[in-house]
Amino acid sequence: MADMTDSPLTRDGKSIVLAHDHGLEHGPTAFSAVPDRLNPEKVFEMATHDAVTAFAVQKGLAKQYYPSYEDSVNLLAKCNGSSSLRSGEPFSPQTWSVDHADDLGADAIGYTVYPGTNTEHEMFKDFYKVQEAAEDHDLPVAMWSYPRGQPIKEHRNPDAIAYATRIGLELGADFVKVKYPRSGAAMGHAVDAAGPCNVLLSGGSKSDDLTFLSMVETAIDAGASGLAVGRNVWQHEDPMSLLDALEKVVFEEQTAADALGREAIEHGSTA
């Protein structure tokens, strides 16, 4: 497991990963409320915010846009993915190699696994190859660990989320990204299960600012090392202001209410 103490992916031991692999995973409809952000440059600009310690994108966006941002953005190469057009249990095939990601200047590798599906064994085999290749290149690995499949009745079940973080530790990930298990106590248990592996909260679907930041605050208080967030930032009407607030919650350990400010709370921040 890589030492993250002096890594550019962390700041004081914490991370905010801006995720932008949604064009593959969800398609253009993800941008219907913010059509200008269908242009990846708009989101690359958001990734230059001081709060963002890494920017997660697929190969095509990295090749086309990252060279213009390599001095101001840390690249987390998302090396597998799938579209929402397919049916059946989720499976996320590899989409590019660690060697290619390293050639493009990646600072880290991201990879999704779906424990509990009938293709779990294939994804675990794929992950070990990616993890060992990343280790050879001195690149940390972030696992998106999302329990799915027939045995998983509730994706945010505390036991399932704790199992998901433990899988990240057991398979050699440096970071493991999981869904919020609906309480601080359950999040704390998931952090304990991960041992030295850094737990990142999944930002999830767009919600109002106070609800979202309160969830982040609870996760940080429970020991999470930060979060990987996409839609709550780039679907926001003022993404930079939300990143300002996230910076206060994650790195300065302010409350969600303080980070948003009294005026925003009194008027109801729902952007």
- Give me Rg for the CA atoms of the chain: 17
DSSP, collapsed to helix, strand or coil, labels residue 49 as coil
- Give the span between the Cα atoms of 63 and 101, in whole angstroms: 9
User: Which of 143, 122, 174, 141 has the alpha carbon at shortest distance from 13?
Assistant: 174
In one-letter notation, the amino acid at residue 250 is V
C-beta separation of 14 from 226 below 8 A = yes
Structure token digits, residue 65: 């846009």
Which of 177, 179, 206, 248 is catalytic? The answer is 177
- Give the span between the Cα atoms of 258 and 110, in whole angstroms: 32
Q: What is the dihedral of CA 252, 258, 263, 269, to 10 degrees?
A: 80
- Give the span between the Cα atoms of 52 and 9, in whole angstroms: 9
Catalytic residue status for 153 = no
Structure token digits, residue 38: 């269908």
Known catalytic residues are 177
